[in-house]
Chains A and B, each alone.
Chain A
Amino acid sequence: GENVEQHPSTLSVQEGDSAVIKCTYSDSASNYFPWYKQELGKRPQLIIDIRSNVGEKKDQRIAVTLNKTAKHFSLHITETQPEDSAVYFCAASLSIAGGYQKVTFGTGTKLQVIP
């Protein structure tokens, strides 16, 4: 089955600096890669996603890149702010029979933005 590895597990940056979180996946058939932000005790919220036919996607201070050949994708947050502090999860999603998407999550990165 799919295996998703996420690094680093914790990341501390100064406010205003950039943060990069990296994930690798094992199944080349995965075709959808969402990123979720989860604040303490709250539900995961989708912040950005990318499909396998796209190499890069940007939304204001957040961007995601995908390298299908190397089977890795990354989340980039620029000009970090204290409210960016949270746990971030990557995921790889695979289409299987019946329209079902099997989603495998990474283990999460705890990002701390230091004011």
Chain B
Amino acid sequence: DGGITQSPKYLFRKEGQNVTLSCEQNLNHDAMYWYRQDPGQGLRLIYYSQIVNDFQKGDIAEGYSVSREKKESFPLTVTSAQKNPTAFYLCATRLLAGGRYEQFFGPGTRLTVL
């Protein structure tokens, strides 16, 4: 867990602006994920990536974009097309080798749209 960093911790955005949330890991994990968490709801998958330069849409990808140019980094851009972006965003990683299934989470970024 200490090997996953997310920045910033808090982010405020005006309507119509794009913002990028950072996720960095030094665990040498292959897979990285972005989840969105809203009050009273579980975690919902936005995007995931298993290898560099490849990523797939999750259940709620509309209004979001990602890139995976390096194994260590998986930034998430919240675009102006996302109608209700205020939420807690969590990045997670997973080691694919060895049949291990555990996901490890970063500390999260709380995004508020003003």
Contacts and interface: CB of A to CB of B under 8 A. Distances in A.
A interacts with B = yes
Interface of A: 1, 4, 6, 9, 32, 34, 41-46, 49, 51, 89, 91, 93, 98-108
Interface in B67-114: 90, 94, 96, 101-108
Given A43-B108, A44-B90, A103 B40 contact: no
A103 B96 contact: no
Interface of B: 1, 31, 40-45, 48, 50, 56, 59, 90, 94, 96, 101-108
Which DSSP category, helix, strand, loop or mixed, fits chain A's interface? strand
A9 B43 CA distance: 15
A66 to B, nearest CB: 14
Contact of B94 (A49, A89, A98, A101): A101
Contact of A34 (B45, B50, B102): B102
A4 B45 CA distance: 14
